[in-house]
Structure 1
Amino acid sequence: MITVLTEQLSSSGGPVLIALLLVSIAAIAISIFKALQFARMGVGRTGGTEDALDRWAKGQFDDAVRRARADRSPASAAVAGAMVSLLNYPSDRDRAREVAAHVALHHLNVMSKSLRFLETVAQAAPMLGLLGTVIGMISAFGELSAKGGAIDPSALAGGIWVALITTAAGLSVAIPVYFLSMWFEARVDHERSYMEAAIAKALFSIAPIEPTEVEPVAEFSYGLPRATVPASLGG
């Protein structure tokens, strides 16, 4: 095997194999980073959010806000933004929806960052492998043509076999990266859907708020720029 790899690296398909090796290392590094990032952000965790929403619906407003802020998850952060906005402006649900949407967008952007690279690797790796195979086949048949057809068939077959390794390498990189990319995308989509549902629940599943019954709460700021709220989150 080592002999085959050495031969391939020294042949015309060598640069393709090196490129595949580099992109595979980058894809593995990004996958590990995203997995750790999702765990740190609390992606997929719903217990704290549901607890905060339950308290909110019962009229335990301060406890609900504290519970949402204490939970490290994108959904809880978005829900907390809506809750605090409603406590400060009880009659302005549109404002609360906008605040929650800004927080949700911020977290979704963080979650989606670098996932496009994984998609690119999954699409490009097979083409790189095919390119290496085509280059190897051109080289093998070029040698055959130069010798006027007087060449050992076993040597020609060996050259073709080595050239096909690049296709196998490309598929070996693309297939696992594709499934990893789909898994990360599915988690982002699930989190987006859950945040939409949680925000709607915070806005409408609520006991009546009387401004005189709650102490003023400082504006909940995330340092996010004002932007247009997407229809999927804006309702």
Structure 2
Amino acid sequence: MPPLTLQLPEWFVSGGITMWVLALLSVVALATLISKILHFARIRPGNTRQADQLLDALRKGQQPGKPGKLSSPVDRVIWQCWKNRNLDEAAWQEESLRLARTSLDDLRGGLRVLEVISAIAPLLGLLGTVFGMIGAFQALETAGSQVDPSILSGGIWEALLTTAAGLTVAIPTLAAFHWADRNIEQCREKMQDRLSRLKVVRNLKTDPEPVDDSSEPAVSHAY
């Protein structure tokens, strides 16, 4: 049985070095996407169960119990902000914003890679097409008076391969970027909502007791 040999497709070889660069970008984009999917599946950025339990207990005037595993960014931030409730108002707000920003920045890791690849892949494909067209017209000029239409058409066909490859890499990469970005945006909105509710509950807990006006003399009204 003859040994198996790895042979690249003819269309890939015809695209030149641009196809190799696009192939490398596609591998990087795929690896980044898989990493983000596993990351989101592990931490579940849209989950707010622990945070909602804390807020419900505080709203009912109950002492919140010990939380479970805080894997969700919203749960971690809300519980950490509740632990910092004894800080003064300005310090508490600054610390809450810092925790929220840090948590969201962790979620955005890798998104810049997807955004850059989705932007430069079509440009690389177009650049390869331009170089291919230049080569096709150079071959046409070299042929002189004996012009063969197949020379030009074949060169154009090979040149357009890089544009198609660039778009093939860019379109799913851009879709993956928007999917991840939307998940992070939903997490940010939920975190902002829970922080606002926690701030209201905290202010109610720290407000001074209302003054008892029963000792003041009654005001007589003339009728």
TM-score, length-normalised on structure 2?
A: 0.82
| Partner of residue 202, structure 1 | 198
**Alpha-carbon shift at residue 6 of structure 1 (Å):** 2.5
d(CA) in 1 for partners of 2:196 and 2:78?
9
Q: Report Cα offsets for 1:38-72 as digits up to 9, x if no partner.
A: 22122111222212211122222342xx23x6332
1:134 to 2:130 alignment: yes
d(CA) in 2 for partners of 1:4 and 1:148?
33
Counterparts of 1:163-178 in structure 2 under 5 Å? 163-178=159-174
**Alpha-carbon shift at residue 186 of structure 1 (Å):** 1.1
**Alpha-carbon shift at residue 8 of structure 1 (Å):** 4.8
Counterparts of 1:220-231 in structure 2 under 5 Å? none
* Letter of the 2:168 counterpart: S
| Partner of residue 29, structure 1 | 31
Answer whether contact 1:127 1:170 (CA < 8 A) is retained: yes
| Partner of residue 211, structure 2 | none
Answer whether contact 1:42 1:73 (CA < 8 A) is retained: yes
Answer whether contact 1:82 1:203 (CA < 8 A) is retained: no
| Partner of residue 70, structure 2 | 71
Q: Report Cα offsets for 1:156-176 as digits up to 9, x if no partner.
A: 212211211111100011011
**Alpha-carbon shift at residue 108 of structure 1 (Å):** 0.9
Calculate percent identity across the aligned residue pairs. Answer: 35
Structure 1: stretches of 5+ with no match in the other structure = 211-235
Structure 2: stretches of 5+ with no match in the other structure = 1-5, 208-223
Answer whether contact 2:49 2:75 (CA < 8 A) is retained: no
Pairing partner for 1:109 from 105, 108, 132: 105
* Letter of the 1:208 counterpart: K
Counterparts of 1:65-104 in structure 2 under 5 Å? 66-67=66-67, 70-86=69-85, 88-89=86-87, 92-104=88-100
Moved more, 195-204 or 152-161: 152-161
d(CA) in 2 for partners of 1:149 and 1:55?
88
Alpha carbons of 1:141 and 1:4: their partners in 2 closer, same or farther (altered >3 Å)?
farther
Answer whether contact 1:16 1:128 (CA < 8 A) is retained: yes
| Partner of residue 232, structure 1 | none
Q: Say which SS state the counterpart of residue 47 (structure 2) adopts.
A: coil
**Alpha-carbon shift at residue 5 of structure 1 (Å):** 3.8
Answer whether contact 1:137 1:160 (CA < 8 A) is retained: yes
* Letter of the 1:52 counterpart: L
d(CA) in 2 for partners of 1:187 and 1:109?
13
d(CA) in 1 for partners of 2:195 and 2:166?
43
| Partner of residue 183, structure 1 | 179
| Equivalenced residues, count | 201
d(CA) in 2 for partners of 1:202 and 1:124?
43
d(CA) in 2 for partners of 1:50 and 1:33?
28
| Partner of residue 218, structure 1 | none
Pairing partner for 2:10 from 6, 11, 30: 6
Pairing partner for 1:122 from 108, 118, 121: 118
TM-score, length-normalised on structure 1?
A: 0.78
Q: Report Cα offsets for 1:61-109 as digits up to 9, x if no partner.
A: 342xx23x633211111111221111x34xx233332222222122111
Q: Say which SS state the counterpart of residue 49 (structure 1) adopts.
A: helix
* Letter of the 1:180 counterpart: A
**What is the CA RMSD across the aligned residues, in angstroms?**
2.2
